[in-house]
Amino acid sequence: MFGRRRKKSETPQKGTSDEFETEQDGQDEPQDSVEADSGDMAETGETRVKLPPAPRPDGPWDIEEVTEPASGRVDLGGLFIPGVEGMELRVEVAGDAIVAATVVLQDSAVQLQGFAAPKREGIWDEVREEIASGITQQGGVIDEVEGPLGWELRAQVPVQLPDGTGGVQVVRFVGVDGPRWFLRGVISGQGAVQPQAAGVLEQIFRDTVVVRGDGPMAPRDPIVLKLPEDAQMVPDGVQQETVEEGSRFAGGLDKLQRGPEISEVR
């Protein structure tokens, strides 16, 4: 169980939850309410504070904030992903829909996935807690830290190696709340352990443009992607990676499974 956002130097404090859910005179007004589970508070002595999305001065960007979203980016419909020399772009599917894309650069990768979110509050705090709970239940180790992209989870996840033995994969879960959307990234490979290798992947995450659309979507529904018109898929020997129900926020952990690939972007 994770408490509210804090740096390691801070002392945990009890808190309440602020819900931003009322509308009066045509304007959104905050209304204070306490929604903490009494059992959780008794166990941890604190609860998360629900907050509206924080400012994003360095991105990721909403489609309304960018003049030319397709300039230097790959158009996947729901996401415009920056193109970097030598990168491979892989897509993951859930059923018949493309819901995530992974940028691979040498020995590092970042998986990007957008979700619908409530209008007046972010979901990254709750999502971090859910991811952490799932990984610890699998025997993994989680550390919540304030990194270059804000609050993130750094995880050591048990995996099965190609020779059948057990091992550990280090991954970073990053996320940013935007206007009615949430963008989650999973950084793996050398980018998860070496800051020098992570820099380009972090910049790709920052410079991604999210297209939520105006249609109704339930909170946490994935933003569906599409292939570029000129995409060339790898024809043989590539197995589609499916995103299982219940693991949508923690997907992208197994680099041994590869989704369909789009040709290199140069």
> 10-residue block means of pLDDT along the chain (266 residues)?
40 38 40 41 52 80 94 95 93 88 95 94 93 94 94 93 89 96 96 92 96 93 88 45 44 40 41
CATH number of the domain encompassing residue 259: 3.40.1000
Give the pLDDT confidence score for residue 208 in this predicted structure: 97
Q: Is 186 within a domain?
A: yes
Give the pLDDT confidence score for residue 49 in this predicted structure: 62
Strand-pairing partners, residue 243, are none
Do 36 and 84 fall within a single domain? no
Q: Is 235 within a domain?
A: yes
Q: How far is CA 119 from CA 28, 217, 258, 265, in A?
A: 10, 11, 34, 34
Instruction: Please choose, from the candidates 141, 143, 158, the residue with its C-alpha nearest in 3D space to the C-alpha of residue 253.
Output: 158
- Residue at token pair 């996935």: 113
Do 22 and 121 fall within a single domain? no
How far apart are alpha carbons 131 and 249 in whole angstroms?
Answer: 7
Do 81 and 190 fall within a single domain? yes
Chain-centroid distance of CA 44 in Å reads 26
Strand-pairing partners, residue 183, are 114, 176
Do 96 and 127 fall within a single domain? yes
Residue that is last in its domain, among 30, 50, 70: 50
Residue type, 114: G
How far apart are alpha carbons 227 and 75 in whole angstroms?
Answer: 8
- Residue at token pair 């292939």: 227
- Residue 16: give the domain boundaries: 1-50
**Overall number of domains in the chain:** 2
Q: How far is CA 249 from CA 15, 17, 169, 177, 254, in A?
A: 26, 23, 17, 14, 14
Q: Is 56 within a domain?
A: no
How far apart are alpha carbons 172 and 187 in whole angstroms?
Answer: 5
Do 128 and 243 fall within a single domain? yes
Q: Is 70 within a domain?
A: yes
Residue 102's Cβ-side half-sphere holds a number of Cα atoms within 13 Å equal to 28
Q: Is 55 within a domain?
A: no
